[in-house]
Chain A
Amino acid sequence: MTSPHDRGSLSAFPIGRRRLLAGASAGALGLGLAPFGRAFAQAKRFDGQSLNLMIIQPHVVAGRYLAEAWEKLTGGKVNVTAVPYDQLQAKATLDVQSGTNNFDVIDYWYTGVGALANDGIIVDVTDRIERDKAEIQPDDYLRSIYDPYTLADGKRWGLPYDGDSHLLFYNTEIFGRHGLKAPTTWDEYLERSKAITEAEKANGIYGAAVLGGKAPIIIGASYTNRLAGFGGRYLKEDGSSALDESAAVEAAKALKDAAPSALPTPLETRFEEGLPAFLSGKVAMIEFWSDLGVYAQDPKGSKIVDKWDAVRIPVGGSNKTSRLALNSGFAFAISSGSEKQEHAWEFIKFATSAKTGLGLLLTTGSGIDPDRTSTLNAPEYKQFAPKVQTALAGALENGLPWPNGPESPQLMQVLADELALILADQKAPEEAIAAAHEQWTAIIGS
């Protein structure tokens, strides 16, 4: 969504160091000396050609940024089509499977990579990555992100451009009022939340917002934060369900325990309810994507400028090492129906490069988070979002991924249903997780 934020000046967009010619032509472009630029064939390589990009609505600002930057660099046009984030996979699938082949580059949620690959919707780019290794620098990608986002069935299918994870954001002013420090364990989180809610709910202020809306990406994210905190995981090494491990149940219990003192009511709290509540100072804690830090500092939409901080997701149970949950997270792939696959691949390399990635990170409203070691630790990013950067660095490298095999959509929907039943007080946590485990075993096994 185009917010009233500025889109970041493109002069912050760094010039490629390897190509002096490209650098010179970029400089020439900057001076408006386009004809000179055109003389350098590489700069205007795709002049007059166009690509169709499908991107999720929350990233439409990033999409437009990429389109503009690409056109400035290569003369090629990018037609950006935004889709609601919950229609991404369906649209990409229908597009290819029906033979429409409207899109060349598609944005995909990493949990869908297995299904998309299995259905033949996206192109196997293993060889291309190998060939263009030097340019892409795949080793720069965070280890915990690169494989889950791109690896399916032993092959690679795309390149990451947005490495999402949740952090625990808290309101320093409210915490200060109660003399509280940031929680490091889920027990502390619960204590703090209860204390604040007890004291201030008459004024409409609550200890925490728990996002429990029934869609997998919403309630699944809240659960995965706790699962990661308790040292749990979704799948065992052999690919079978790990929901029978104790961490899975402990995480579910923690979710349920958090509900009573949370912003009313978790089941009704989706992003659009939780986020404004935090930004207007009505809740003291929220687990949300790291780019919330950027929103919180924007005076046009936030009442808590400089009154917040971010820490890593708390730990729980016997686990003492903080681990972030890879909630959401997106990559670009070539649509298998595209007739401009080489062109599409060039764009993808550009869009996912460290340089472009940094530019996106520094753009308010882009919705993009770091996915490379270089960008995560870049001094410009540290300066732009210091609190977030401190929390991410050192923990994101070890994130907990969601399942990403072909059955992933079904698995997560089953889990989301059971979790919703827990929050609706219709099932006990043990019962619900056991039921989920049973169904997961049936789905994976088939």
Chain B
Amino acid sequence: MALAESIDTARTDAPARRRRWRLGNASLASPLVVTLALTTLYPLVALVALSLSKSTLGKPLRDWAGIANFTRVLGDPAFLASLWRSAAFAFPMAAVELVLGLALALLFHRLVRAGRVFTSLALLPLMTPPVMVGVAWKLIFAADGGLLNGWLRAAGLIDAPMSFLGSSSWAAVAIVVADAWQWTPFVALLCFAAIKGLSEEVMEAARLDGATAWQRFRHITLPLLVPTLAAVFLLRLVMAFKLFDLVYVLTFGGPGFDTTTSGFQIWRLAFEQFDVGRAAAATLVFVGFVSLVIWPASRAARRLEARYT
């Protein structure tokens, strides 16, 4: 039988084939290795070199500085505060966007032609240039002549302009709102696709069994979505730690330093003070900090994924 013969051949060929495959796979991954060498290894070496030297934008690697940059950065209360602030922004932002995104996806899931309509709309905030997102929200939140203030006054809710971007507490909220506007659709899109992929038969069976919408959601939908949700949360979390554009346009780190995230602080060091050595040290410290903070979240995500797959 041809089949038996080919199975025999396959079995004897197995080790050689495995070796060929491993080599083939390695070569498939080689562009990635080159990429990582260029985008990760090289900048890392450059960062380390810069951080150990006295470097300005105009005169990089001028002098050996040892760990002076690191001690300055770690001893700078403003920078340390910016680390906590970055985390304080990132986690709530990612969480809010996750919840809202899921809610949005569930909401739109019911509409018949939701697929087309939803994705068309969902893409718009994503495609708006970040600077423009900032400007649009700045015009909305502006104390004098802003849209929100205009509406609140017209509705009689306030009689003097309220300062959102100039007040310590509201400025942070404003940034979260603007960021949520831009990225919730992204999260919603991914959740929406995940929901669409859920098996209709299981849902139908549950419905026939008399389960309420809430029960269906909690016991069937949600567990099936957990791996996706965990992965999306993690991705948004990492992106949120790098928050920069909105801070730059909306508050410039203010009022005072209340919205100065690490990304912004590093930019200031590099492009306002031109102290590239310290900026490099700050970047390395920041990466260390984020990896540390994200590690529990990422482990939890992986455990959830394993449990619910």
Contact = CB atoms under 8 A, between A and B. Distances in A.
B60 A97 contact: yes
A417 B258 CA distance: 12
B268 interface: yes
A264 B163 contact: yes
Interface of B: 56-60, 142-145, 159-161, 163, 165-166, 168, 252-258, 268, 271-275
Q: Is the interface of A mostly helix, strand, loop or mixed?
A: helix
Nearest to B78: A417
Contacts of A213: 252
Contact of A424 (B168, B272, B273): B168
26 contacts: A97-B59, A115-B58, A119-B56, A119-B58, A120-B59, A202-B159, A204-B144, A206-B144, A215-B252, A264-B143, A265-B143, A265-B163, A266-B166, A267-B255, A268-B142, A268-B165, A268-B166, A413-B268, A413-B273, A420-B255, A421-B256, A421-B257, A424-B254, A424-B256, A424-B258, A426-B255
A72 B165 CA distance: 49
A215 B159 CA distance: 30
Contacts of A206: 144
B144 A273 contact: yes
Given A97-B59, A264-B161, 11 more contacts: A97-B60, A115-B274, A119-B57, A119-B58, A120-B58, A213-B252, A264-B144, A268-B166, A410-B273, A420-B254, A420-B255
A149 to B, nearest CB: 19
B166 A267 contact: yes
Contact of A118 (B58, B161, B254, B268): B58
Nearest to A263: B144
B274 A93 contact: yes
B294 to A, nearest CB: 30
A121 B59 CA distance: 10
A14 B116 CA distance: 63
Interface string A345-374: 000000000000000000000000000000
Interface in A115-148: 115-116, 118-121
A89 B271 CA distance: 9
A77 interface: no
Nearest to B135: A272
Nearest to B258: A424
A32 to B, nearest CB: 44
Interface residues of A, number: 38
A115 B255 CA distance: 29
A282 interface: yes
Contacts of B254: 214, 267, 420, 424
A7 interface: no
Contacts of B160: 201, 264
B274 A426 contact: no
B274 A409 contact: yes
Interface string A59-87: 00000000000000000000000000001
Nearest to B256: A424
A407 to B, nearest CB: 9
Nearest to B270: A90
Given A97-B58, A119-B56, A263-B144, A89 B255 contact: no
A409 B272 contact: yes
A214 B143 contact: no
B161 to A, nearest CB: 5
Contacts of B256: 420-421, 424, 426
Contacts of B144: 204, 206, 263-264, 273, 277, 282
A213 B252 CA distance: 8
Contacts of B257: 417, 421
Nearest to A427: B256
Contact of B255 (A201, A202, A409, A424): A424
A268 B143 contact: yes
A423 interface: yes
A230 B306 CA distance: 69
Interface in A189-221: 201-202, 204, 206, 213-216
A281 B111 CA distance: 49
A424 to B, nearest CB: 4
Contacts of B252: 213-215
A423 B166 CA distance: 10
A98 to B, nearest CB: 10
B156 to A, nearest CB: 13
B56 to A, nearest CB: 7
